[in-house]
Amino acid sequence: MATTDLLPIIPRDNDTAPLVVPSPEDAPEPTPITEQEVGEYREQDRFLPIANVSRIMKASVPSTAKIAKDAKECVQECVSEFISFITSEAAEKCQIEKRKTIGGEDILYAMGSLGFENYAETLKIHLARLRQTGTTSAAAAAASGTNAPREREE
């Protein structure tokens, strides 16, 4: 439609015919996403950075060991999928509870409900230490008058 074809917006009178709202059947169907469009997502948008994954992997093996590129890429894809899996379960819990923020307890709950109880127990200890360190550093920063990192909303 050219700009000369645009019609002015005229306010509706209450005396005129009722407003006709198109039914869902009349609405145009959204175009489905094609396989080509799905393939156009860049790996860096879907996966954790390969350098971070590689650094974690290297810390777990002897310094003389080498890790093949395909092994790094495989682990990169696996950990990214794992994080998505746990996060989606935690997000579902938050949605049921009508909350918008996923907290540490939500992640621990998700891990437990998905069968990762052993890891959840270890992470519970880590989360407590993290919060203690955060509280301690915030108190020290407040005492020194500097800006402390804000507490995360749970």
Q: Which domains does the chain have, with CATH numbers?
A: 47-142 (1.10.20.10)
Give residue 42's pLDDT band: very low, low, confident or very high (50, 70, 90): low
Helical spans, DSSP H, in the chain: 35-39, 43-46, 50-59, 69-96, 104-113, 117-144
Cβ atoms 102, 154 nearer than 8 A: no
**In the predicted structure, residue 47 carries a pLDDT above the cut 70:** yes
The helix/strand/coil state of 28 is coil
pLDDT tens track for 75-132:
999 999 999 999 999 999 999 999 999 999 999 999 999 999 888 888 999 999 988 8
